[in-house]
Structure 1
């Protein structure tokens, strides 16, 4: 990875984190827990984990806009939700 790619990825990460900060508090809490989980469990395939994080933010923004409770999006077990996203991102 060259220096320019590193800078671009860091910029994209900051944009993603700004999107997270704009979410309602309960969404932010679930996102942070999912992020920790993905960084631990999805470490073998970091690209799939990152793709899953972007998908989560997209889903959370949509859910927040429509007023859905966050656990209505993830289901009762957010880890299972994250695993499914990693699996679909890796395919």
Structure 2
């Protein structure tokens, strides 16, 4: 990864966060909780995929329709996040494999 890639990545991230800051306060709070959860547990290819920007798109549509954030995602943010990443390989999967001797781990 070169310096230009880093600079471009920062520009994209700042533009992404500007979209978050344009959302109503309740949406911002829920987005930050989703982001925290996904960064902790989420898919390995998070940075390469459209997951976070897709959430912003979804939220912007909800704001446009006049819906509250909990009307869109329900009361359980973690369950919503789990549904988003259910078909993706996550860091939690890698950890489970490492402690159980699953695929991709060496026998000790």
The RMSD of aligned alpha carbons is 2.1
Residues 16 and 54, structure 1, Cα contact 8 Å, conserved in 2: yes
Q: How many residues align?
A: 89
Partners in 2 of 1:65 and 1:32 — Cα distance? 20
Higher helix share: 1
Q: How does 1:61-72 map to 2 (within 5 A)?
A: 61-72=60-71
Give, in angstroms, the shift of residue 7 of structure 1: 1.0
TM-score by length of 1: 0.84
- 1:31 maps to which residue? 31
Match of 2:7 in 1: 7
TM alignment of 1:1-91, pairs within 5 A: 1-42=1-42, 45-47=44-46, 51-87=50-86, 90=88
Q: TM-score, normalised by structure 2?
A: 0.72
With over 3 angstroms needed to count, the CA separation of the structure-2 counterparts of 1:34 and 1:50, relative to structure 1, is farther
Larger Rg computed on CA atoms: 2
Listed as ranges, the gaps of 5+ residues in structure 2 are 90-108
